[in-house]
Amino acid sequence: MARSRAVFLDRDDTIMVDMGYCRNPEDVCLLPGAAEGIRALEEAGFLIVIATNQSGLGRGSITEEELAAVNQRLREELRNKGAEYDALYYCPHRPDENCECRKPKPGLLLKAARDLGIDLGASYTVGDREWDVQAGRAAGTRTVLITNGRTPSGTPTTADVVARDLGDAARLIANHLNSHTEDSS
């Protein structure tokens, strides 16, 4: 069976504005470039997998039903702009629970890879925090840190590349793929 390549995306401050335990679907607001970036990655043949920490569940700040409604609204907003994701995985645990699925650990990515037949070495992880980068590295993907216009902190990133937003990240990934295709001709 041929294994697929994927782009693992963080949700909050990567695809949509981080509302801090978003409970209301009406609060879902896509970030500039997000839908376009996802569409470009889909067109390049990647599975789109959202991998997100949602400790609001473990803290009791949000219910499973509220999270499902927010994620459904996210799907609708993306579809309205011609973009789609293939799967969404989330960690419901608080940081102090030390689970295997909470980023920076790679559990969500590894589970998605098993479930969906993903070749991690041919995949990318994109997020706005260093823990997204660390999870991607631990899973064996290439990594992209997006800044959304923020000045990077004084701590250097371990990401393979830094991008402005998800649209910029998609262009960088496509350029990387194209350069490797040309090299192998």
Backbone angles phi, psi at 178, to 5 degrees: -65, -40
User: Helix (H, G, I), strand (E, B), or coil: what is residue 126?
Assistant: strand
Q: Which helix (H) or strand (E) holds 162?
A: strand 161-163
Q: How far apart are CA 159 and CA 46, in angstroms?
A: 20
Q: How far apart are CA 58 and CA 104, in angstroms?
A: 17
Q: Which amino acid is residue 68, in one-letter code?
A: A
The CA-based angle 57-107-90, given to 5 degrees, is 30
Catalytically active residues, by annotation: 10, 12
